[in-house]
Structure formats: structure tokens, C-alpha cells
Structure 1
């Protein structure tokens, strides 16, 4: 009897012991299922996130995930409140009042205050590179503070009161709010500590939808900031991949959920599988035809442009996710102006005689996008004309002005943001003729500097600088994701992932 009793007890222990493992395993599975994790790769994990000067868009994604600005840009390029609930602008365009939301919190649960934002702008003025904070330097007293001539609290027109931040500018700036949407203006506490995120990430607090849970050279792990983000993806893993091809290989074996701009050879397949999101970028490519030496007459420049457009169209017909044809528009938004486009089409169709050369030379910066365009143009001219295209892809040498003079054509990439035409045309300044530069300087010196139509028509009518294509941002997504959006600055908005 004792033996039976002993065996019964032993059997009971064994059963309870095994059930413990079953329950433990069941609980672990339940936890994993309830916490969604999304991963994507970038070509380097940046340890220094204090300044944006040397950061790529994908590096900026980290800043945008863990911090928010007063305002942001949605996917339609519309400026919307973020930390602010409403914005009041004075009639003269000099003063802005940002009413701060009462439901925004740091990742440690403490409330974000107007004083926090005013203090951050003080740090930003001291630490960020000048070219990245031009809008902030237009604030009354900001330059003087940066130069050590005034005290911030009394000399700079950025004030935080009980529920608002008030900013007064030196002069009206129509792009001020647009500038404030950029990553460098998102709220970060103890900005100087962002120089070494590997050592400081765990001691920082964050204003965004996510907080940094771990940070090393191989990956950054973001966890949802439950104070500001109630229903987003729980965990974002940003991993160090050598190239987009490496990311794509990991995607194929379900180890990546997001791949930004996958190789062109993959786009059509991904689109057919409904695993590709295509969004318009502000980036464009323009054809500069070197007319300064008078080696190519007007009719020649016109014919060359028409043929280059035909070449890009032939590529786009079978690869329509890579870019959108400019069709004579300097900005994507201007394609809606059918009257202007029709007038330019009439000009382009003018026929005439000129002595066509046997060889045309083309120079551009060495990028994946430019490689595609050069190859496309070369092949089309070879198959459809008696002209041979010889192109050169260069890196640092692209800044050599003497080198550019030796080429018939140059491909130039520019930020085709129609809300910042001043910056757009300034980027072309080195390619303008003397008369065109005078026209630009006159525009910049007048109050009506937003109207660049005369300069634009001059460039097109003389076939000096001409629009070719506007690029798209292509994003491969896994089965875990049904939707994902970029903001108006081209950064991933992780809070929109579904």
C-alpha cells in the first residue's frame, strides 16, 4: 500500500512539473503574439544624432520617431499642428503663437511644457550648424544670442508662458512654419547628450511616439511611448544593413518588414504582389545644356531636350514606379497647369536645321538614379539617332566648375519643393547666364520674390535648364503591414503603420 501511495505522489509531481512548462510556454507565446515588431534596415547606425548635417533621411527617421515638433507635414505636404494644438499668426506675419496641447508627455510620463520648448530652441541655437536653422536665426535676437551678444531669456523673442510659445521674427517669412516641420526642430531634451546616443540613450527622455530601448552599432530598438502613442506598433527594430540589396535579401526570408527604395529590378514584381507603396518625392532631375560656349544653337538644344525626354519616356513606360515624367514642368504641382504645358509643348515642337554632332557628352553625379538615366539616354540615342552619348559619372569631382564646362550636358538633382522656390533657383545659380543671374538677384531683392515665372520661362524658352523627371519613394512592405506613410519631409511616420 505504501508503495502504491509513493508512486501516486511521484506521478502527481511529474504531472504538475510538466504542466508548469506547458503554462510557461503558453504564456510566452501569448506575449509574443500581443506585441507586434516591425524591422527595417539602414546602411549605418548613426551614433551622433545631435546635428542633422551628416544625417540621411533614414537616420532622421530615428529622430522623428522619438521626438515631435510644434508642427509637422502630412503625406500631402500640408502643415498640421503636432505639439501645438493651434497656431495664431499676426497680420504682419512677424509673430506666431503656438498653443501647446495639454495631452502631450515625455516618455517618463511628465508633461511637456511651453518652457521645455523654449529651452530646446535655446540649445538648438547654440549647438546646430547654422545652415540647418536659418528659419530660427530669423527670430528677433537669435543671431545676437548665437554670437554671445545677448542673454537668451531677455534678448531672444521666444517666450513660453502658461500654455503657449510665442515667437517673433525679424521679418515675415512665408516658409517659417514649413521649416519648423523639419527633423532638427523636433523637441529633444539635453540636446548635447544626443552626440553619443550609444552611451546616453537610456538616460534621455523622449517627446515622440517612441522611445529608444537599446542602441548599438548593429541595431536601434524603439518601444512605443504609451503616453503619446496609444495604438501604434509596439516595437520598431532599425538594423544595420550594408546595402539595399542586403535589406532586400533579408526581406525575402521574412527578416525585414520595410525596405526603402528596393532595387529597380524588384519594383514591378513587388507592385504585382501588392507589397509596394509608391509615394511622390520632392526630388527632381534637370537637364542643363551648356550654351555658354555657343557650340549648340537654340534649335539644337530644343532637339536634344526632346530626344532626352523621349528616352526617359521609353524607360518610364516599362518602369513606371521609379519616377514621373516632368513633361515640361519645373515642379510636380505645376503639371496641373495645362495652359502652360501646352504652350511649352508648342515651343518644343518647332522644327529647324542645325549641324548635329556625332557625339554628345553628358556629366552627372554618381548616384543610382543618375546611372539609370544615363544608361537609358545612351541606349535610346544609339537605337534612334546617329548621335553617340558618352557619359561620365563622378563623385567629388562634380563640384569642379572647369570640368562641367567641358561637357555638352549635365544632369542636376534638385529639391523640387514648390513651397521653397528661392532655394530651388539658388541651387541653379552656377548654371545661369549673366542675364539670368541678374534677373534672379532682382527677384531676391524685391518683396515679390515668390514669383519666379519670368525666370522660369527664360530658362525654358532658351533651353538652358530643363525639367526631366520627379522621383518617387518606393517602399516594400511585408504581410505584417497594410499601410505606411512618409511625412512631407520624406521621413517615415511610424505611428501610421497598420
Structure 2
């Protein structure tokens, strides 16, 4: 039978009742649920999204706004509001052709000048933007950000109404990977964006949906943006976003048919849901790791001690037994599915093994001044069931095999960040990922001036190697320099990768065509309900 693409009703009465009367197969009326509910969890504070990173909250940017370019499910760069672009022979100047039919949600034309304004806003020194350094490849961007020059000296200009030119300091074969990130989706940085829950009707949108209604922060209705350039390909007229926080509560809502799609069920239920065909996994490049507090004096500063810990971790047990195979052992610093900027994937070598290596661990310990009678080391983590189990498993291995005593302490998010800031710990279990799809994004976190490097690690050789990789024109040599950077990290061991997490997506069987980006964002433009019985 033909698949029906239906309008997805958001009326609160329908949400509560869970179904409407609809004629299917002749004149027979049966109760059919004809709206989709996607649970996004905790809502973002604002729609700037420039101060922290939350992949689920960035789903708002992916579906409400669009940038010059974007990515498909495989991570390939595809046109966005720019239908095409050209690159100069010296590979330092991009010219983007804004689509003739690109419009704001109020029907007014999107112009090249709109993007000039956008970049001037997100680079402004008065706007809190932790990602600003990503755009320092653009000529004049760093000086403008630091208040040394005006924006007229930044090489971003409108050639005419529909042509935008961006000139770089030097060739950057992954510049489009940066621009494809959700944070570079075109929007106007004004009070409407920062007070979005109150002023959502006043926001000008550039993506496939707009916010139509917000009800007491419990649900948000999206309706199709009829002025979106690709409106005809958006399959649902309306979508409901529920705001249920916590995996247990989201699963309960899913099982009672109040939610049709949600991400990351409780680990204890994930394997069963996958086996029943009610969920599937998608690999991402989010990695969990142990980081060392190198600002603190003590045994933790001994690289051989850190290496002893690295080879004492049973990644197979963690991935299989604790995480129910929703993660895979991380054996490198840069995940295996990261772009090399040359239409391929970055490949270096495996630095770690999946299984515990006791003999190697003992050899490393012998090279240290470790005293088993010392006070326990403090391992802190964000307090979740999974993190607790992982840290306790690591602690047990270290105690049983190396006589290293570890005290594991879990904190809520605010407390955890405070502990990291105060430096009152020896080891911390953290989650990290690159902010764009290229190896440099993962390595730059460890440079001396990186805002992400709060752990006291310093190596001028790493900084110089990464800077050379930026300046290098030969693309093959750029990759070799990045490999050298990863090798430096391994030798210094400021961090130990543990595992790469998969996204587990639960959806009802009649929900079709969910799109998931390589980074893990949910795109709702193609999703619909299949009414075929």
C-alpha cells in the first residue's frame, strides 16, 4: 500500500489522547496516532549555542537554522544556503553563491550581507563564544576578535547581493568542515535568540522548521518553514518536541506511546531494545577518557605511572559488560571515522589494546617511585550509573594488579566542573570530542593556550607541530604532521582514551527516514509516519 506522509498534529488535546480519527482503507475509521513526538530532553538556555556543547541541544540549530554548507549522514559536505561555491587557485579564497530562493522565515531574501553581519556578530569580542578560534583561519578574524582591528579589516565581504567572499590566511582544506558545524547556521544574534522561550515568534529562522508554540517548557511544536528553500522536500508539516529529562523517564514515555523517538535509553535496557528491533546504534566520535591533573604535584606527574594505568584498563570488559556493547574500545586519540580533509579518513596507528596488559603495567611501575602505602588517588566523575561502574572497574584493576589505591567520587554537573576548576583531584573521567570533523580539532585541545586544556599539560613541540600543520600547503605533509602530533600525545600521556560511545536511537516501527549526522545530530526534515498496516 502507498506510504502516506501525514501532517503531524501538535495540539495539546491530541498529545494527551494519543490518537485521532482517520479514514484508512476505504471508509473504515480507526484510531491512528498521526503526530510524531521526538524527545530532546533538557532545553538549551538560548539559541546562540556558543558557550558550551550539547549534541542534543544542537538539534535545535540543525532543524531551525541552516548555514552556507552542511553535511549528509556520511559526513560529506553538501550545499546549504549556498547552492555552490568556488575556490581560488591558491586555495585561500572561497566565493559562496547564496541561493536565489534562500529566504528568512518572514519571506525576505537572505543575502551575502546577512552572512557578513552574522560573522561580525559571532566574532565580536563582547560575545561569549568558546568556538571563535575556529575562524582565525580567516584573514583579520583574530585581530578583530581581540579588539585590535575593526570588522572592515576582516576578509569577509559581500561581492554583491548573492555572492559572499571569505579569504583565508593560508590554505585550509577542512575549512568547509568547520563551516558545516551547526553553530555556523545563519541566525540573527539579538535578544530574541537569547530569550527564545519568550520571543520565539519574533525569531527569523533559516532552516526547515520554525517554532510555533511552547507549552510550559513541557513541549515545543515545530511547523514547516514555508519559506525554506527546500520546503518541498520537508515531509512533515509539524513536529512535537518533548522535554523529558532523564533516560528512565524518556523510556517510560516511549513505552506508553507518549514519545515516538528518543536517544540513549538506560544502558541496562539498550541491548534488549536493540535485539527487539526497537532501537539501533549509530557510531559517533564522542570519546570517554581519563585525564590527569598535571597541575598537582605527586606520582601522577610521572609519565611511566600514567602509562602503567593506561595498560591496566580492560576496555573489552567496560564496553561489553558495563556498557552493553553500546560503545567500542578507543585505541587512538583521534577516532577512526574522522575526515582527513582529502575525501578519506584519517589513519595513524593503534596506541592501546582492548585487553588489560599486566606485565607491561608492572614494567612501567618499576620505573617509577610509586609507594603502595601512599594515600589513595582521587578519581572524579560525572555521577551516572555507567560512570560509577566504569570508574570502579578501573579502580579494581589498579588495586588488584598494581596495588594502586583509587578513591572514586561522583559529582553532579555543577560540582564536577567546580572540582575540575579547583584542581582538587588526581584523575578525572571526562567526555571529549572534536568540534569539527578533522584531526586538528581533537589535537588542538591539548595546546598550551587552548581553553579546553585545563589540566596543566604543556608541550611546545606539540604546539609547534600543529601550527606547522596549519601552515603546510602540501596536504599529505599536513596529515603526517597531525600523525606526529598524535604520537607526541601518546608519549606524554596526559590523557587515556577509554571508549567511543554509540548513539542508541529508539523509534516506533512506523517512523521512517530519521536522518542522523556523522556527529550524531537528529535531522527531522525527512521523517514521517508510515500508515501502511
- Residues in 1 aligned to 2:254 and 2:75: alpha-carbon distance in whole angstroms: 29
Distance in structure 2 (CA, Å) of the matches to 1:392 and 1:253: 35
Equivalent in the alignment of 1:24: none
Match of 1:474 in 2: 504
Give the gaps of 5 or more residues in structure 1.
Answer: 1-26
Partner of 1:209: 208
Residue pair 1:87, 1:97 contacting (<8 A) in 2 also: yes
CA shift for structure 1 position 144: 6.5
Residue of structure 2 in register with 1:364 after alignment: 380
Q: 1:490–1:317: structure 2 CA closer, same or farther, 3 Å change rule?
A: closer
Q: 1:204 to 1:259 in 2, by over 3 A?
A: same
Deviation at 1:287, TM superposition (A): 3.2
Q: 1:340 aligns with which of 344, 349, 355?
A: 349
Partner secondary structure for residue 459 of structure 2: helix
> Is 1:238 aligned with 2:237?
no
User: Which has the higher Rg, Structure 1 or Structure 2?
Assistant: 1
| Whole-Å separation in 1 of the counterparts to 2:150 and 2:488 | 48
| 1:143-222 equivalent positions in 2, closer than 5 A | 157-189=156-188, 191-216=190-215, 217-222=217-222
Task: Confirm or deny: 8 A CA contact 1:135 1:176 kept in the other structure.
Answer: no
TM-score by length of 1: 0.78
Which residue number in structure 2 is paired with residue 29 of structure 1?
22
- 1:123 Cα deviation from its structure 2 partner: 4.3
Partner of 2:224 in structure 1? 224
Query: Would you say the 8 A contact 1:197–1:215 is kept in 2?
Result: no
Cα distance change on mapping 1:372 and 1:153 into 2, 3 Å: same
SS of 2:271's equivalent?
helix
What does residue 306 of structure 1 align with?
A: 311
1:123-134 → structure 2 map (5 Å cutoff): 123-126=121-124, 128-134=127-133
CA distance in 1, matches of 2:244, 2:355: 49
Deviation at 1:306, TM superposition (A): 2.4
TM-score by length of structure 2 reads: 0.73
CA contact (8 A) 1:362 1:411 kept: no
Are 2:269 and 1:266 aligned? yes
Kindly tell me: are residues 297 and 66 of structure 1, through their superposed partners in 2, closer, same or farther at Cα, counting changes over 3 Å?
closer
CA–CA distance in structure 2, aligned partners of residues 189 and 461 of structure 1: 45
- Separation in 1 of the partners of 2:154 and 2:307? 55
CA distance in 2 between partners of 1:365 and 1:77 (Å): 31
Secondary structure of 2:210's partner? strand
Q: Give 2:259's match in structure 1, choosing from 253, 256, 260.
A: 256
Paired residues for 1:51-70 under 5 Å? 51-53=49-51, 56-70=54-68
Gap change, CA 1:429 and 1:210, over 3 Å in 2: closer
> Quick one: structure 1 residues 346 and 473, their matched pair in 2 at CA, closer, same or farther if it must change by over 3 Å?
closer
Whole-angstrom CA distance in 2 between matches of 1:175 and 1:304: 35
Q: 1:424 aligns with which of 431, 438, 445?
A: 445
Distance 1:259 1:149, change over 3 A: same
Structure whose residues are more often helix by fraction: 1
1:391-402 aligned within 5 A? 391-394=408-411, 395-400=416-421, 402=423
Q: What do the CA deviations read for 1:83-108 (whole angstroms, capped 9, x no partner)?
A: 11222122333211112233444334
